[in-house]
Structure 1
Amino acid sequence: MADSALSRRTFLTRSGLLGCSLAASPLITPVSLAAAPWDQRLVVIILRGGMDGLDAIRPYGDVNFAGLRPGLVRQAGQPGQEAEVGLDLDGFFAMHPDLAGVMPLWQQGELAFVQAVSTPYRDRRSHFDGQDLLEAGTMGLGERRDGWLNRLLQLHSGVAARTAFAIGHGDLQLLHGAAPVSDWSPDADLALSPQAERLAGVMMQDDPLFSAALSEALALSRVDAEQVTTGAGSAAQPQGMPGMPPGKAHLNLAEFAAKQLRGDTRIASFSLNGWDTHSQQKRGLGAALKRLSGCILALKQGVGPLIWDKTAIVAMTEFGRTVRENGTGGTDHGTGGAMVLAGGAIRGGRVYGRWPGLEEAALYNRRDLMPTGDVRAVSAWIMRGLTGTGQTDLEQQVFPGLQMGQDPGFLR
Structure 2
Amino acid sequence: MQRRQFLCLSATLPLACQLGRGLAAPLQNSSPRFLLVFLRGAYDCNSLLVPTHSDFYYQARPNIAIARPGEANGALPLGANWALHPALQTSMLPLYEQGQLCFVPFAGSNDLSRSHFETQDSIELGQPLEGSKSFQSGFMNRLAQVLQQDSRSLSRVAPMAFTAQLPLCMRGNAQVANMALASVRKAAVDGDRGRIIASMYQGTALDAAVREGFSVQTAVQRSVQEEMDKAGREAISAKGFGLVAQRMAHLMREQFDLGFVDVGGWDTHVNQGGVSGNLANRLSDLSNGLATFAEAIGEETWRHTVVAVISEFGRTFRENGNKGTDHGHGTAYWFLGGGLSAQAGGKIVGEQIEVNEKALFQNRDYPVLNEYRSVLGGLFYRMYGLSSQQVQQIFPASSTGKLHLV
**Could you tell me which residue of structure 2 aligns to residue 102 of structure 1?**
92
Matched, 1:398 2:388: no
**Could you tell me which residue of structure 2 aligns to residue 292 of structure 1?**
286
**Could you tell me which residue of structure 2 aligns to residue 213 of structure 1?**
210
| 2: CA distance, partners of 1:201 / 1:138 | 39
Matched, 1:116 2:106: yes
Of residues 158, 161, 164 in structure 2, which corresponds to 1:163?
158
| 2: CA distance, partners of 1:39 / 1:74 | 40
Q: Which residue type is aligned with residue 393 of structure 2?
A: Q
Residues 90-117 of structure 1, C-alpha deviation per residue, up to 9 Å, x if partnerless?
Answer: 1211111122222111111111111001
**Could you tell me which residue of structure 2 aligns to residue 133 of structure 1?**
122
**Could you tell me which residue of structure 2 aligns to residue 175 of structure 1?**
170
| 2: CA distance, partners of 1:143 / 1:227 | 37
1:266-305 equivalences in 2 (<5 Å): 266-282=257-273, 283-305=277-299
| 2: CA distance, partners of 1:284 / 1:224 | 33
Gaps of 5+ in 1: 1-6
CA contact (8 A) 1:312 1:341 kept: yes
Secondary structure at the counterpart of residue 215 of structure 1:
helix
Gaps of 5+ in 2: none
Q: Which residue type is aligned with residue 354 of structure 1?
A: E
Q: Which residue type is aligned with residue 91 of structure 1?
A: A
| 2: CA distance, partners of 1:75 / 1:170 | 40
Q: Percent identity over the alignment?
A: 26
| 2: CA distance, partners of 1:71 / 1:377 | 35
How many angstroms does 1:194 deviate by?
3.7
Instruction: Provide closer, same or farther for how the CA distance between residues 170 and 393 of structure 1 changes in structure 2, counting only shifts above 3 A.
Output: same
CA contact (8 A) 1:278 1:332 kept: yes
Instruction: Provide closer, same or farther for how the CA distance between residues 62 and 231 of structure 1 changes in structure 2, counting only shifts above 3 A.
Output: same
Matched, 1:41 2:33: yes
Instruction: Provide closer, same or farther for how the CA distance between residues 330 and 296 of structure 1 changes in structure 2, counting only shifts above 3 A.
Output: same
Secondary structure at the counterpart of residue 148 of structure 2:
coil
CA contact (8 A) 1:233 1:301 kept: no
| 1: CA distance, partners of 2:7 / 2:235 | 32
Matched, 1:90 2:86: no
CA RMSD in angstroms comes to 3.1
CA contact (8 A) 1:275 1:284 kept: no
**Could you tell me which residue of structure 2 aligns to residue 315 of structure 1?**
309
Of residues 11, 31, 45 in structure 2, which corresponds to 1:18?
11
Of residues 68, 72, 76 in structure 1, which corresponds to 2:64?
72
Residues 339-378 of structure 1, C-alpha deviation per residue, up to 9 Å, x if partnerless?
Answer: 0111112232001122223322221101111111112222
Secondary structure at the counterpart of residue 117 of structure 1:
strand
Secondary structure at the counterpart of residue 351 of structure 1:
coil
How many angstroms does 1:239 deviate by?
3.7
Give the total of aligned pairs: 390
TM-score of the two chains, using structure 2 as the length reference: 0.86
Secondary structure at the counterpart of residue 352 of structure 1:
coil
| 1: CA distance, partners of 2:223 / 2:66 | 47
Instruction: Provide closer, same or farther for how the CA distance between residues 300 and 193 of structure 1 changes in structure 2, counting only shifts above 3 A.
Output: same
Secondary structure at the counterpart of residue 93 of structure 2:
helix
Instruction: Provide closer, same or farther for how the CA distance between residues 377 and 89 of structure 1 changes in structure 2, counting only shifts above 3 A.
Output: same
| 1: CA distance, partners of 2:159 / 2:4 | 28
| 2: CA distance, partners of 1:201 / 1:162 | 26
TM-score of the two chains, using structure 1 as the length reference: 0.85
Q: Which residue type is aligned with residue 18 of structure 1?
A: A
| 1: CA distance, partners of 2:319 / 2:14 | 40
Instruction: Provide closer, same or farther for how the CA distance between residues 12 and 47 of structure 1 changes in structure 2, counting only shifts above 3 A.
Output: farther
How many angstroms does 1:22 deviate by?
1.5
| 1: CA distance, partners of 2:57 / 2:227 | 48
Instruction: Provide closer, same or farther for how the CA distance between residues 35 and 387 of structure 1 changes in structure 2, counting only shifts above 3 A.
Output: farther
Of residues 43, 47, 55 in structure 2, which corresponds to 1:51?
43
Instruction: Provide closer, same or farther for how the CA distance between residues 133 and 46 of structure 1 changes in structure 2, counting only shifts above 3 A.
Output: same
Q: Which residue type is aligned with residue 216 of structure 1?
A: G
How many angstroms does 1:198 deviate by?
3.6
**Could you tell me which residue of structure 1 aligns to residue 325 of structure 2?**
331
Instruction: Provide closer, same or farther for how the CA distance between residues 271 and 13 of structure 1 changes in structure 2, counting only shifts above 3 A.
Output: farther
Instruction: Provide closer, same or farther for how the CA distance between residues 11 and 110 of structure 1 changes in structure 2, counting only shifts above 3 A.
Output: farther
The more displaced of 328-337 and 90-99 is 90-99
CA contact (8 A) 2:12 2:188 kept: no
CA contact (8 A) 1:119 1:318 kept: yes
